[in-house]
Structure 1
Amino acid sequence: MPQTIERDEVERIDRYPTRTGARTAHIERPDPTVWGAIESAELTTFDRDGFAVVEDLLSPDEVALFSAEISRLAADPALAEDDRLIVEKASRRVRSIFEVHKLSGAVADLVRESRVAGLARQVLGSDVYLHQTRINYMPGFRGRGFYWHSDFETWHAEDGMPSPRAVSLSIALTDNHPVNGSLMVMPGSHRTFVPCQGSTPAEHYRESLQEQEIGVPTTDDIGSLASRHGIVQFTGRAGSALLFDSNLMHGSSNNITPFPRSNIFLVFNSVENTLEEPFAAPGRRPTYIGSRDFTPV
């Protein structure tokens, strides 16, 4: 049920309450999935499934260019102590680098192209801005996966995103095999919001970016959604991309194969859905995680 939040004497309605003390019922999403007009053939099933695969978004030459860029950034000594660089908890290998569009001119140019930002504008029905950008690295043998979660649950609770009017574009820079930790999604799960339990500690992002334990659904929640929707896996060659709704339940397993996996991850939010104060956290996360520059791309 929606709840009223009082903060600084201003009341606002929270239609997606989460981080509760006790387990609460799932919320059937009142917001649409597609706000605009779908023009690209690849996106025709987006409303139904909550995701779409775009084959060959990047050419082989572009894959080589961006692969060299992400290798350069991972090895850059200037970033070694930068908060935007996240390492694996155990191996201390690079896991993610945030604000990559500010660290790489090539990525900055890419996000503005119609084949990229244009996909988000079709779904969201408005101008869009970059809520978050990052590179994800999953090395071979010891790459750690991401547990089942809805991105919107975190962005709502910890960043203050009002509604799930945002999409993510994951662009593969390596081949995604069924065995090397490729992303798993539950088609149709984007229509159900799953509230999570537990309160959000201060500066929770410092732990959650390495391994998230608060803001994840229970095993019963995951089992219920999987029984209802099933699970499919995003596989394909380097250069392909997955566009998915911010509330889609997704996750990935560890990579114990010799085959590394890496991707450019871009989050587009509608300019009509800009961030407020967090709905279930004591303070804002840093802007390199949840941008408060709402300038359209």
Structure 2
Amino acid sequence: MTGPVFRFAPSPNGELHLGHAYSALLNARMAAETGGRLLLRIEDIDVARCTPQFEEGIYRDLAWLGIEWEQPVRRQSDHFDDYAEALDRLVDAGLAYPSFMSRGEVRAIIAEAETEGHEWPRDPDGAPLFPETERRLSQREREARMQAGDPYAWRLDTRAALAHVGGPIFWEEQGHGPQGQTGLLRANPTAWGDVVIARKEVPTSYHLSVVVDDALQGVTHVVRGRDLFFATAMQRLLQELLGLPAPVYVHHDLVLGDDGRKLSKSRQDTGLATLRAAGLTPDDIRRMVGL
């Protein structure tokens, strides 16, 4: 079967809200308008926070909205081997390294630098970039600490990764970014520093699993909220490193709360289950999100 492939990929760590409804309905509409397919993916690599109850709620809410998706549903927790294989490729190529610093140690390094008057660089989400200290650890020290059982996370060596790619990276944006960016855009992965791509106990992270999943599922159009616009740069880098195809990206506006902030799963007043219990209909939801 050919044609565009879209996907809606929620995490079952809370109830879906109006923002999720907008994204799911927009994906479904674009799939219908283009004669494409709509897939549903459950992004549950955070096994501590994701629950079967929330997953069942996702199916219930989407069915109530009248959204139909192809079976089977891909559940990320069933495919850790796929992500481990991709991670091994990056490690074997010398593009990822284990980092052992705790959050407290990282905070202390940043605080010391700022006390000395240095402005610490931050990523597009406002979080401080990871210090470069552990990038310089010897292979012998890394192996010794791993064998000793020290907790660690795998981080992408972004500088080495960009050198490995050997040229600029772009993506096709058919939606728009926070400043209206659209068209063929140049990615800037260095803005994120050395991101976590896996952990000792879980062989993946959001960035790694999403690019592997999109490739394995043949996704051609990634339609998602504008809050993930800048994350596209890191995902495009991983696609280039792993030889994966690049989808078209469509970043859409966010559904905001009364206070002007984006909705979160903690806001029960915008939860679809709460709104349904209050007597609202799927048509009411479509009107509320502008569809």
Structure with greater proportional helix content: 2
Give the structure, 1 or 2, with the largest relative contact order (CA under 8 Å, sep 6 or more): 1
Q: TM-score range by the shorter chain?
A: under 0.3
Instruction: State TM-score, norm by structure 2.
Output: 0.25
Instruction: State TM-score, norm by structure 1.
Output: 0.25
